[in-house]
Structure 1
């Protein structure tokens, strides 16, 4: 099975898909140190995931290790990056250029994982017409025009919570197919829209709760 086929046909369980970037990050660290092979046991020890689970996760992407040697690191990095979509550049718009939106526009590391923010949208007059990290900021009303020009399918949502649903609906109406939602609001979308919720505040709540339970 070639990598393009695997990306389009293999359906990983979501927990497995979420773990693959963990493996990739650790394996790339070994790569920078000049290591040539890594075993599932070694990965398990470093990131705290059972080795049998790692072997099963990697079997989904049709790569196997050598007995008593492990996985060839360069090949494993290449296969993982291709499978996860990190080798293809995906353009994205940011909706809401407040502190978080601006920080994401400043994050050049996103491009290393295949995400290129090409424009931001806001309604504040003082932001419209300016740039963050050389990325232009337009008024939200200009979104349909820019969407037609650039054909962007991914929208990153960082607007205030009271605007989350209405802006989401504008995004979808304008042609956005996948939304990375950073707001704490659980936006409602049609079934054909890909949604990924990443609420910093929800993670904070979990951390605070666990911290309070430490005796």
Structure 2
């Protein structure tokens, strides 16, 4: 459970709030003033019952027969997510992935300001990405302090991730988004969100293998699988 103000909210609900906020902001751009739980749930990729349960942790929303006021619900969720004030962001590790993350165009619209890029590679330091110079990670402590950085995206190689993360935490930063392929060992009050691209692909590979195995099981002794995965009858039955 996670405390949001005076309310305690399940971590799984907190993880879904950004999807609700994105859907609501899409509705705002489309000029939609009110929406139903069914429409908002569909746009967010969840069921209506799950949506209503999640929102119930934050308070009472919606009017029977009318639905949710898009602007007010959007503002409330944004405030619950702590987006009322700007978060200053640094990226440590500006290789191919870090460079792509630096050039992501959605930070400002979502309440984040990218203020620093750091790397250890002499071939990278001094270059520019997203309008910012890449500075040497040796200066990490002074840069994070001088620019009031509150969140860090970590995109270093795995071998460097743990020591760099420890330096980041020592600077007072307690929120880290890690793309490094290691499990960071940090104090309990540090929130780490890890994105393991290879791991996610392996999960997809598992599902693909399971689906192929199920299709193979449905094929009879003389049957063949049609191109769309539907089992065709044995040749003797055609």
Matched, 1:126 2:123: yes
What displacement does 1:142 show? 0.8
Q: Indicate the SS of the match to 1:67.
A: coil
For the structure 1 residues 47 and 144, does the alpha-carbon distance in structure 2 shift closer, same or farther, using more than 3 Å as the test? closer
Correspondence 1:77 to 2:74: yes
- Structure 2: how far apart are the matches of 1:37 and 1:176? 38
Distance 2:19 2:186 in 1: 29
RMSD: 1.8
- 1:48 positional shift: 4.2
Q: Summarize deviations over 1:102-127 as a string: whole Å, max 9, x none.
A: 11111121221122221111111122
* Pair 1:82–1:125, CA change in 2 (3 A): same
Q: 2:20 aligns to what?
A: 23
- Contact in 1 for aligned 2:88/2:151 (Cα 8 Å): yes
- Equivalent residue of 1:162, what SS? helix
Specify whether residues 48 and 121 from structure 1 end up closer, same or farther in structure 2 by C-alpha distance, changes over 3 A only. closer
Match of 2:175 in 1: 178
2: CA distance between counterparts of 1:48 and 1:195? Answer: 24
**Secondary structure in 2 matching 1:213:** helix
Count of aligned pairs: 210
Q: Does 1:108 align with 2:78?
A: no
Distance, in Å, in 1 between the alignment partners of 2:43 and 2:104 is 27
Of 183, 208, 214, 2:211 maps to: 214
Secondary structure of the 1:183 match is: coil
CA distance in 1, matches of 2:153, 2:169: 12
Q: Match for 1:198 among 195, 198, 201?
A: 195
- How far the C-alpha of 1:176 sits from its partner, in A, is 2.2
Q: Which residue of structure 2 lines up, in the alignment, with residue 11 of structure 1?
A: 8
Rounded to whole Å, the distance in 2 between the matches of 1:26 and 1:148 is 35
SS at match of 2:9: coil
TM-score of the pair, normalised by structure 2: 0.81
- Mark the runs of 5 or more structure 2 residues left unpaired by the alignment: 213-238
Rounded to whole Å, the distance in 2 between the matches of 1:63 and 1:134 is 43
Q: Which structure has greater helix proportion?
A: 1
Question: How far does residue 136 in structure 1 lie from its aligned partner after superposition?
Answer: 2.2
Relative to structure 1, is the Cα distance of residues 35 and 186 closer, same or farther in structure 2, using a 3 angstrom cutoff? same
Normalising by structure 1, we get a TM-score of 0.90
Q: How far did 1:175 drift?
A: 2.8
Structure 1: gaps spanning 5 or more residues = 1-5
Cα offset for 1:26? 1.9
Equivalent positions of 1:144-155 (< 5 A) are 144-155=141-152
